[in-house]
Structure 1
């Protein structure tokens, strides 16, 4: 599994129905499984980003399909960052001269 950090911001539609945000997040977490994606953690934040999620995906295509499916609902804009646990970072560092 590949690890990502998901950064989400509410759209105007998403903020207008903010009281449903936890229900939408639970539904997204369940829907993610159909794409080979596991939303391990979803956190609501204050600042430039409204939600942060730790995500595991089978591959990049699985995450891309999932993020497009979420985007089509129109409640959030989704950005992802590839993340490396320490074991993977050690393997990367081992390749340095």
Structure 2
């Protein structure tokens, strides 16, 4: 599945939600041409970002939900969709799931990182179907 889902949810319900989500995302995607150089770059991809607070970020942790809201607005202006944000306990402080072009995701994360509150590590994510397409010609 292309997004994190809660445990103990009915599998058929998850499949229906996923199918419905794909339909609505296809209809509502925005063009991010300002961050793309070719048609190929405009492909919407999933990005999973692992976030750690810096010393500055943890000192101002009470402002973190407000900073997230500001990031969400910025991301949408750049043609990204924030699919999910989770505060976590452990090695990372947050997980952010984005959908959009590689260029828009990179630009948005560089911009927010330059503010000094977080450090990020981002991974390009593939659905099972996306992975099938990648490996079918191996």
Q: Do the two structures share a fold, i.e. TM-score over 0.5?
A: yes
Q: What residue number does 1:84 align with?
A: 126
- 2:81 & 2:116 partners in 1: Cα distance? 21
Shift of residue 93 of structure 1?
Answer: 2.3
Shift of residue 5 of structure 1?
Answer: 0.4
Shift of residue 9 of structure 1?
Answer: 0.4
Shift of residue 46 of structure 1?
Answer: 0.9
- Unaligned ranges ≥5, structure 1: none
CA RMSD after TM alignment? 1.0
Of Structure 1 and Structure 2, the greater strand share is in: 1
Q: How does 1:48-87 map to 2 (within 5 A)?
A: 48-57=91-100, 59-87=101-129
Shift of residue 35 of structure 1?
Answer: 1.6
Give TM-score, length-normalised by structure 2.
Answer: 0.65
In the alignment, does 2:58 pair up with 1:15?
yes
Which whole-Å deviations, capped at 9, do the CAs of 1:29-84 have from their partners, x for residues lacking one?
11111222222100001111110011111x22111111111011111111110100
More relative contact order, 1 or 2 (CA 8 Å, 6+ apart): 1
- 2:58 & 2:71 partners in 1: Cα distance? 17
- 1:62 & 1:94 partners in 2: Cα distance? 28
Q: How does 1:35-50 map to 2 (within 5 A)?
A: 35-50=78-93
- 1:70 & 1:20 partners in 2: Cα distance? 14
Shift of residue 20 of structure 1?
Answer: 1.1
- 2:121 & 2:75 partners in 1: Cα distance? 15
- 1:45 & 1:6 partners in 2: Cα distance? 12
